Structure 1
Amino acid sequence: MTYQGVLTKMETEFSSPIQYYLVFESDFINMNQLLGKTISMEFVKYQCLNCGLDKPIFRQGYDKQCFYDVAQAGDWIMRPELSTAHLGQEDRDLEYEKRVQLQPHIVYLANSSNVKVGVTRKTQVPTRWIDQGAHEALEIVEVPNRYLAGVTEVALKSFVADKTNWRKMLKNDIEDENLVEWRDKLIDYVPDEAKAYIIESNSETHIDFPVMQYPEKPKSLNIKKELNYTGKLVGIKGQYLIFEDQTVFNVRSNEGLVVRINVN
């Protein structure tokens, strides 16, 4: 069976294990059903997620011009502490920024390759943790806007990581951590303006990924360079497809690429 479409990050369903869906314009694939099967992938062209044109993708699924124009790629996306909608100040599109920034946000601890601190909209729990390949996570602060979440993350990342080691995560080279104990150690460092929003009592969320075999030495597939790839799918974790020959493919980092997928 053959599918073709522009890549966007896989949709997920929180179950045990996580269910993954690759969604195209007029079709979708339940990727869990492809575990153990041979998949061929071919790069077809680019398709910017904003303008739809066949122009080289720069970042986050957008061509260079769109990346610097669209509200969805503002600096506050990656750096929440730069959010200004709560002040009524526009970055690129104030109405969009109000919709996204002025809603409840969670500051959390997650363990994917190590314990890290992160920020997400409340509506994106537990999706954000799944996308990062975290096997356990815990909400520690719930604030009313993105700015407060951002300044809290900045304060806490002086004491805990804010990045995931993707190779370690994919190798499953991880240890279980007591995130409640981590929270108790960190809450003294929450900024004064966010202290009222500390979540005093909750429990870890545990996440089970559909992986038959973890790679010992994961090697990343550059489908734009290779143009074609064929391999047996043996796992899915975070936004990565894991193949038997230890090749891994990050779907999210290849957003905006049109691919043709054949399932043997």
Structure 2
Amino acid sequence: MLQGLIRKMPVHVLDGQVQYNLKMGNEQIPLNALIGQKVALQFDGTIECTHCGKATKKSFSQGFCYRCFTKLAACDTCIMSPEKCHHHLGTCREPEWAEKYCMQSHYVYLSNSSSLKVGITRGDQLPTRWIDQGATQGRAIFSVSNRRISGLVETLFKEVVADKTNWRTMLKGDAPAMDLEQEQERLIELVYESLDSLQHEFGLQSITDLSDHNETHTFTYPVIEYPTKVVSINAEKTPLVEGRLLGIKGQYWMLDTGVINIRKYTGYHAKFTV
């Protein structure tokens, strides 16, 4: 048994397969060995803000109380839309936080989760970012000097390729393998002139093409059976979440009773039993 406040599942890769841990408070338990067994999560209705620790009736932005949600830079609109970063205008909610997390190198990448998509992440977040999206392939295509520029580059690619994962499709099985190197070349050709303009605006060192210095990474997930129909479990309506654990992909558990996004319940207190 394990109990405490739920956190995003920590992940690592071993021999090509993603390994998951369930983290509750300061304790963790490996999950891959439990695939095929019946498990249960009992939610007791308690929610705590992961920043200030205060009790909250509702969780915002996956783990925050309303006050922190409206005050923290980590919850600002530019986190979801980095091209809207306003640090350079002097209006950032937390300039010191931004210096640590936003004003550092980021990657623009291609991944294959439900289909081909473009995305961005901090330089220290690969391959975790790909795994959290349930991607079976991932490839960094540009290194950029900060989060805002990564968002501007991503915006160019969003004109020619998706930037979202269809989580329902992702949970029904692995997408067909793609040649991400070939896709990279094709997409860059489509936005080359706009990329050149951005680089001219921000400087030659602001955007580095990784075409000749990178590789495509592949991942497999601990799944023994994919659902034919994806039924989402709402733990607020069904506090006792139980069933046979058929697999884990992204931050989702696939049970024979439905699927649940563990990350969605960050800060919720629960008890886990096998």
Normalized against structure 2, the TM-score is what? 0.91
Unaligned segments of structure 1, at least 5 residues: none
Give the superposition deviation at 1:203. Answer: 2.2
Report the residue type matching 1:81 in the other structure: E
Q: Structure 1 residues 204-213 or 57-66, which shifts more?
A: 57-66
1: CA distance, partners of 2:174 / 2:231: 16
Which of 208, 229, 237 in structure 2 is aligned with 1:217?
A: 229
2:30 corresponds in structure 1 to 30
2: CA distance, partners of 1:163 / 1:94: 28
1:168 corresponds in structure 2 to 169
Which of 257, 266, 273 in structure 2 is aligned with 1:255?
A: 266
Could you say what secondary structure the match of 1:186 adopts?
helix
Give the superposition deviation at 1:151. Answer: 0.1
Q: Cα deviation per residue 1:101-132 (whole Å; 9 max; x = unaligned)?
A: 11110000001001000000110010000000
CA contact (8 A) 2:253 2:259 kept: yes
Give the superposition deviation at 1:225. Answer: 1.0
Give the superposition deviation at 1:88. Answer: 6.4
Q: Cα deviation per residue 1:183-234 (whole Å; 9 max; x = unaligned)?
A: 1011131522247511122321001111111111011111111111210111
CA contact (8 A) 1:57 1:63 kept: yes
2: CA distance, partners of 1:63 / 1:41: 22
Question: Residues 62 and 235 (structure 1 numbering): CA distance in 2 closer, same or farther, change over 3 Å?
Answer: same
1:76 corresponds in structure 2 to 78
Could you say what secondary structure the match of 1:181 adopts?
helix
Could you say what secondary structure the match of 1:123 adopts?
coil
Alignment of 1:4 with 2:3, yes or no, is: yes
Report the residue type matching 1:178 in the other structure: D
2: CA distance, partners of 1:83 / 1:29: 37
Give the superposition deviation at 1:46. Answer: 0.8
Give the superposition deviation at 1:84. Answer: 3.3
Q: Structure 1 residues 172-181 or 90-99, which shifts more?
A: 172-181
Could you say what secondary structure the match of 1:62 adopts?
coil
1:236 corresponds in structure 2 to 248
CA contact (8 A) 2:69 2:75 kept: yes
Give the superposition deviation at 1:22. Answer: 1.6
Report the residue type matching 2:54 in the other structure: L
Q: Structure 1 residues 35-44 or 153-162, which shifts more?
A: 35-44
Could you say what secondary structure the match of 2:183 adopts?
helix
Could you say what secondary structure the match of 1:110 adopts?
strand
2: CA distance, partners of 1:109 / 1:118: 6
Report the residue type matching 1:74 in the other structure: D
1:101 corresponds in structure 2 to 102
Following TM superposition, the consecutive aligned residue runs of length 4 or more in structure 1 with deviations greater than 3 angstroms are none
1:205 corresponds in structure 2 to 217
CA contact (8 A) 2:113 2:174 kept: no
2: CA distance, partners of 1:151 / 1:223: 37
Report the residue type matching 2:127 in the other structure: P
Normalized against structure 1, the TM-score is what? 0.94
CA contact (8 A) 1:39 1:261 kept: yes
Could you say what secondary structure the match of 1:95 adopts?
helix
